Amino acid sequence: MAMQPNSGEVEIVAAGRSFRATSGPAGRVPPLGQTAIERALRQAEERPAGAQVFRPEVGTAFDTCNEGYEFYNLFSWKKGFGIRYGRSRTNSASYRTRQDIMCACAGNSPVGINSTQRSGCRAMIRLLRSDDHGWYVARFVETHNHQLSQGCGETRQWNSHNRIDPVARDFIRNICGNNVSLSRLYSVIGGTLGYGPAAPFTKQLLRGLCARMSQDSIVDNISKTMKLLGEMQGSDPDLSVCIDTEEGRVRSILWCNGKNKCAAMEAALKTTMPGTRHRWCRWHILRNAKEKLGGVYSKFCGFKREFHSLVTDIINPVQFESRWADIMSRYQLVGNPYIERLYTHCEMWAKPYFTGIFCGGMNSTQRSESANYTMLIQRCSPPTLLCQESIAKANHTHTTEQAESSGANIPVKKSSKQLYLEPC
């Protein structure tokens, strides 16, 4: 090797090698099972006092190019500057044969941009290929033309030193999963991972990493959700899934299984609330009828009025049966599968079969929200008073409907009144 002085800088160049590989893998298997960093640490005791442990002397061999970068980065941390990859050379066989690793201040800033710190510094190392597909330092320029950083606080501002290693990444991922605040996490990293009183990276970098981990977690959760929905769809072909996206991001996922939810609810009510009466929601009955009988709705303008009146107004069983048969015959719905099923379960929704059941004026799930709102607004009123008002309103509505349809005035059962007026 030879020294080439240039404007006072120290530059060491290796003597040419007779053979270098021109094709092959990106790196080699460590011949002695040790990396260059491990060898430098083992030879540290043999160096003179004050000598740099990770000095990239010409001829220093590495197994991979990345190992050479990490070795030079350790040297730059001690000296007080940052590094970055520079020019490289790749031959016709797509085999990289040269790689320059330069000082972060190498080169010149673009015209009109003064935010960078590039000053044309020539400090660098040049890595060339060896015959066994490894790398070695062929050129080492040590002198800088700018002021070096002093202390850890200044040095870690360089991008090459403001990094989070894989061990710290795993530690941060586990801690973030436990909802630890950013400030608390940053304060414990140094002592927990053995870095000393301060973490070897800035809080801004940690914040960005936590944000990326959070986004990756969301993507992972979405993929798991879609996998689970796919398994559910395999066992339930009628399962429907609706995904709302915006600019490639999932905003919401809505799914509904195809199983008979009313039958499942009825079975659950029989075991958990045996004293209750299960009733189908009138609003869902009418909505499903419009979906299943859309052609009849559009073809016959009077069908909607008559069918809705049958579901909503009729409370006499004989009149209900007569009107039902008449409507089915006139609108050619005899034998329709949906109508047959609806009639088979008419005791679950038709008013004539609920005349003796106190429902508090509710015949759809929407009315329960109205009742909850009333209870919330009048939360300061005594519970007995609210029940009295509810029963009075139900009595008026119920008896009015009966009088209009049959001319009879059938009051609400006394048992329901006694039940709802018991002292709380």
Backbone angles phi, psi at 37, to 5 degrees: -65, -40
> Six-digit token pair at 224?
């798991």
Q: Which of 277, 287, 279, 275 is nearest to 262 (CA)?
A: 279
Pairing of strands 135-141, 240-246: unpaired
Per-residue pLDDT, 418 = 45
Tell me the pLDDT tens digit for each residue of 110-155. 766 665 678 889 999 999 998 888 899 999 999 999 989 888 778 8
Pairing of strands 61-62, 124-129: unpaired
Do 189 and 176 meet the contact criterion of CB atoms below 8 Å apart?
no
How many other CB atoms are there within 10 angstroms of residue 289's CB atom? 20
Pairing of strands 96-103, 249-256: unpaired
Per-residue pLDDT, 322 = 92
Q: How far apart are the first and last CA of the chain?
A: 100
Cα 179 to Cα 142, 182, 198, 405: the distances in Å are: 45, 9, 21, 63
CA 248/CA 376 separation, integer angstroms: 41
Per-residue pLDDT, 72 = 92
The amino acid sitting at 164 is: I
Tell me the pLDDT tens digit for each residue of 54-103. 889 999 999 999 899 989 988 998 889 999 999 999 988 888 999 999 99
Q: Which of 102, 106, 141, 138 is nearest to 120 (CA)?
A: 106
Per-residue pLDDT, 413 = 42
Give every CB contact of residue 424 below 8 A, 6+ residues apart in sequence: 383, 384
Give every CB contact of residue 400 below 8 A, 6+ residues apart in sequence: none
Phi-psi region of 330 (alpha: psi -120 to 50; beta: other; left: phi over 0): alpha
Cα 200 to Cα 163, 179, 419: the distances in Å are: 8, 22, 71
Do 54 and 40 meet the contact criterion of CB atoms below 8 Å apart?
yes
Q: What is the pTM of this model?
A: 0.45
Per-residue pLDDT, 405 = 46
CA 7/CA 143 separation, integer angstroms: 10
Residue 17 CA, distance from chain mean position: 54
Per-residue pLDDT, 258 = 61
How many other CB atoms are there within 10 angstroms of residue 102's CB atom? 21
Report mean pLDDT in 10-residue bins for the chain, 424 residues: 42 56 76 78 79 88 90 89 92 90 87 70 93 91 90 80 75 74 74 60 78 77 82 77 78 72 72 81 84 86 89 88 91 89 88 79 56 46 49 52 47 43 41
CA 241/CA 339 separation, integer angstroms: 27
